């Protein structure tokens, strides 16, 4: 049996909360659960430490969660709020005196390796940049695990996110489904039996590349995880107001939330 611990490093949308220059009630709230950095998670699987995305806030998130090791990164897609903290993987390469493998589907890796080409060069003696190795994960819609980490299978789902295909991951009985606007019946079927589901829930208003609250509530009910947490929320959703109207066994996530699961 392998223990799995997921820490929500960030559950905010691309603008984060508070939004720069905004004085709405959520942005002015003193409840720390209303301060949301960009979407990201850290997952400890047995003795291994895996990172989902390295967004704009990755440095602060790593300090806050006292991260001291990263064995690999799973990238969902190359939007700035999920990728642009990539340079701060450098500290981990230096501490570990090693490259870090990064994983994603082919189009994601093509984008990352062209925009951050310097991060994929051989190590220099100064460790003055990240030293990463790209590994492609086949888009097989969750039919077979794409990785096995400490005996825990990782399934990848290519989910629509506007014109992009975003990778969503099931890690044992945890699932991280950020940045998507639709889930098909087959995927919902493959997500049965979850302990924890983390699901995109942008705002009340319908949006082309994300789930609205109504859509997120509907998918959460159909997937029926033991507990669902909503992520990638904008400042239009305050923690308190969303909590009060969530379906049973659903709640908004918050930065720093930690959940434990295990896989036998």
Q: Which residues bind Zn ion (CB under 5 A)?
A: 19, 22, 24, 27, 79, 81, 179, 235
Q: In this complex, which beta carbon is closest to Zn ion, that of residue 81 or of residue 195?
A: 81
Nearest approach, Cβ of residue 28 and Zn ion (Å): 8
Q: Least separation, in Å, of the C-beta of 77 and Zn ion?
A: 6
Parallel, antiparallel, or unpaired for β 164-171 and 174-177?
antiparallel
| Nearest residue to 85 via CA among 107, 102, 106 | 102
Q: Which of 75/155 has CB closer to Zn ion?
A: 75
Distance between CA atoms of residues 49 and 250, nearest Å: 27
Return d(Cα 240, Cα 260) in angstroms, integer: 24
Q: How far is Cα 56 from Cα 175, in angstroms, rounded to an integer?
A: 22
Q: Residue 181: in which H helix or E strand, if any?
A: none
- As given in the structure block, the two tokens for residue 248 are 């049973």
Q: How far is the CB of 98 from Zn ion (least distance, A)?
A: 29
Closest contact distance (angstroms) between CB of 226 and Zn ion is: 25
Q: Which is nearer to Zn ion, 229 or 263 (CB)?
A: 229
Q: Which is nearer to Zn ion, 94 or 207 (CB)?
A: 207
């Amino acid at each position: 049996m392998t223990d799995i611990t997921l820490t929500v490093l960030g559950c905010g949308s691309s603008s984060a909360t508070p939004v720069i220059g905004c004085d709405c009630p959520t942005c002015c709230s003193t409840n720390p659960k209303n301060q949301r950095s960009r979407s990201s998670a850290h997952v400890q699987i047995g003795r291994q430490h895996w990172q989902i995305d390295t967004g704009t806030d990755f440095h602060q998130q790593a300090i806050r969660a006292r991260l001291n090791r990263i064995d690999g990164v799973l990238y969902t897609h190359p939007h700035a709020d999920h990728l642009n903290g990539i340079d701060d993987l450098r500290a981990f390469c230096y501490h570990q005196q090693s490259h870090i493998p990064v994983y994603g589907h082919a189009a994601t890796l093509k984008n990352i390796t062209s925009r951050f080409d310097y991060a994929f060069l051989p190590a220099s003696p100064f460790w003055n940049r990240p030293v990463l190795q790209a590994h492609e994960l086949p888009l097989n819609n969750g039919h077979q695990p794409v990785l096995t980490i400490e005996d825990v299978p990782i399934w990848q789902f290519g989910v629509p996110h506007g014109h992009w295909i975003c990778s969503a991951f099931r890690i044992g009985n945890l699932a991280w489904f950020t940045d998507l606007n639709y889930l098909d019946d087959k995927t919902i079927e493959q997500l049965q039996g979850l302990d924890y589901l983390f699901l995109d829930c942008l705002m009340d208003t319908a949006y082309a590349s994300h789930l609205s609250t109504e859509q997120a509530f509907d998918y959460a009910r159909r997937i029926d995880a033991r507990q669902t947490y909503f992520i990638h929320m904008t400042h239009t959703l305050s923690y308190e107001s969303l909590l009060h109207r969530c379906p049973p066994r659903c709640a908004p996530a918050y930065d720093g939330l930690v959940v434990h699961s295990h896989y036998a």
